[in-house]
Amino acid sequence: MAQNRIDREQTTREKTVRKRGWQRPEVLPSPDPEPGYDFKWVRVSTQGTVDATNVSSKLREGWEPVKADDHPEITMVTVENERFKDNVVIGGLMLCKAPQELSEERNNYYEQQTDAQITSVDNSLMRENDPRMPLFNERKTKVTFGKGS
């Protein structure tokens, strides 16, 4: 028998690492995570027109603009508006952060709103229900993989 095999100790994963393929760059870079905070890109302007209403509503909601000095890993910072010259602004969007508790409360609020709307639609649908010809109201989804046939 031929002994052309290499010992396992001499072969390592680093020696046989695949070449990394090309990937499309992110349009908006992700900041390094900070414990206890969530990040969000807030619209500052659209087509060169300042959107003060959107910015002020997000600031009142509890989002704080992120200073460019706090996240040096984001290098594509452009000054589009003198008001936000110290902040991270890319393509009319400003990076903001808020405590995770605030984000969770906001998500819970909108989840309750959605549940109330679904309940209202269900009640309205069941009002039209007739025992002789019942309406079906199934709220189940099914995820399948493969050809699906």
On whether residue 63 sits in a domain, the answer given is yes
On whether residue 27 sits in a domain, the answer given is no
Question: What is the per-residue pLDDT for 129?
Answer: 75
Query: What is the count of structural domains for the chain?
Result: 1
- Residue 37 pLDDT greater than 80, yes or no: yes
State the pTM of this model: 0.59
Residue 44: how many CB atoms within 10 A of its CB? Answer: 24
On whether residue 148 sits in a domain, the answer given is no
Pairwise CA distance, residues 26 & 107, whole Å:
25
Instruction: Classify burial at 77, counting beta carbons within 10 Å of its beta carbon; exposed 0-12, middle 13-18, buried 19 or more.
Output: middle
On whether residue 131 sits in a domain, the answer given is no
Q: How confident is the model at residue 130 (pLDDT cuts 50, 70, 90)?
A: confident
> Which residues constitute the domain of residue 93?
36-99
On whether residue 76 sits in a domain, the answer given is yes
Let me know: does 37 contact 97? Beta carbons within 8 Å. yes
On whether residue 112 sits in a domain, the answer given is no
On whether residue 120 sits in a domain, the answer given is no
Question: What is the per-residue pLDDT for 112?
Answer: 96
Span between the terminal Cα atoms of the chain, in Å: 49
Nearest to 90 by CA among 134, 28, 9: 28
Mean pLDDT of all residues in 114-125:
88
Average the pLDDT over each of 62-66, 68-72, 75-79, 101-105 and give the range with the smallest value.
75-79
On whether residue 43 sits in a domain, the answer given is yes
Q: Going by C-beta distance under 8 Å and a sequence separation of 6 or more, which residues neighbour residue 33?
A: 39
Question: What is the per-residue pLDDT for 27?
Answer: 77
Question: What is the per-residue pLDDT for 77?
Answer: 47
Label residue 38 left, alpha or beta by phi (over 0 means left) and psi (-120 to 50 means alpha). beta
Mean pLDDT of all residues in 33-60:
89
- By residue count, the chain amounts to 149
Let me know: does 65 contact 94? Beta carbons within 8 Å. yes
Q: How confident is the model at residue 16 (pLDDT cuts 50, 70, 90)?
A: low
Nearest to 78 by CA among 91, 95, 96, 65: 91
